[in-house]
Amino acid sequence: MLLANTLCALHTIRTSSDQVAMTSTSFLANKSLFKNVCAALAFVLCAFGTATAQKQEPDDTVERIESNLVQLNIGVADRKGYAVTNLSRGDFVVYEDGVRQTIQSFEPASSPFSLVLLLDMSGSTLNFRQTLKQSAARFVDALAPDDRVAVISFWTQIKKGKREERVQTLTAFTTDRRKIGDGIASADGTGETNLYKALRVAIAQLSREDKRRKAIVVMTDGKDTGLEKLDRGASANAQTAEEARASVKPDDNQTLRGVLDAADRQGVTIYPLALPSGDIARIAQPLPQQVAIYTSARVRLQTLANRTGGRLHEINRLEDMGRLYAEVAADLRTLYTIAYQPPGTRPRDGSWRAINIEVSRADLIAHTRPGYYAR
């Protein structure tokens, strides 16, 4: 509105100058007004540019939708482990805390996903950065044509002793494979790891993808710098590996809980691909504190997968990276999505709600997240 008014004022000056004889006094008056208007216009344009720049920065604020709708991504396999993708709505029964629920919506395994591809660009991935990017590009090629993909890189930059967390959206949600590939190729960074900040940003962006099926695929060693400091402090007095493991409680963590709760509210499934740099077995004689840090990081990755209905893939050799990415892509194409509305009489009191899925055929096994906290 301010910009429009300013432009109108400029137009008025120009019209007046055409119609009025420019005496010395009127010229000075118009000149003074013109300077004021130009200053106002410069202020507006500067403010507009600043606002635009701020919108480009990643935002980890999840858009809360006031609904108790619970969304589940469900995989179904036969006794031999082969995926079954030809089931219909009537083949599923959903229970919450043992009470049968009414299915509100059903999407077959062929329905498209909105997916965030998270790339760890911390210093621990420098030695195999090219392999990582090639594998990520092949993963995208294996997705369905209508799947919308966003590419986000993350790392923590150290400048003059100050830590600056970087979470950069390289490609916004799109089905354009060329743009996605360009985003992957442009990923760069070094420094420390800010995994859980990146997960919050990814979930916030997924919250704007309406009611589409949602997933996050993240390749990382899992050693978030902030949580690493907590684990080191908790295990400071440990003298042995056993004491170190006992001193930390990886799942009892507010940062992890916040990510899981946000994922629960949208039905986001998380697939972590654990890099070999996060494997404690690769350290010949680890200190007790290292055992605590590495063990906790891997446990949290497992928790992210288990709680959201995903699967943790451990990369033991770099040459396995592409194959494991392909397995995730194949897994996504076998998932059904079901949503149900729990009874409104149940308060959201933070208690655990257990979810169980039954399939009409006795020879099939359904897999989804085990439940959620009603927060």
CATH architecture of the domain with range 113-335:
3-Layer(aba) Sandwich (3.40)
Extents of the domains making up the chain: 2-56, 113-335
Contacts 24+ apart (CB under 8 A), 35-41: 37/6, 37/9, 37/10, 37/13, 40/2, 40/6, 40/9, 41/3, 41/6, 41/7, 41/10
Task: Match 């990510």 to its residue by tokens.
Answer: 259
Phi, psi of 171 (to 5 degrees): -145, 125
Cα-trace Rg, the chain:
26
Which residues are bridge partners to 75 per DSSP? 335, 367
Provide the residue-wise pLDDT of the chain in tens; the chain has 375 residues: 444 444 444 344 344 444 433 334 443 344 444 445 444 444 434 343 433 333 344 555 544 444 689 999 999 999 999 999 999 999 999 999 999 999 999 999 999 999 999 999 999 888 889 999 999 999 999 999 999 999 999 999 888 778 889 999 999 999 999 999 999 999 999 999 999 999 999 999 999 998 899 999 999 999 999 999 999 999 999 999 999 999 999 999 999 999 999 999 999 999 999 998 889 988 999 999 999 999 999 999 999 999 999 999 999 888 899 999 999 999 999 999 999 999 877 788 889 999 999 999 999 999 999 999 998
The Cα 301–Cα 227 span in angstroms is: 13
Q: Which pTM does this prediction carry?
A: 0.82
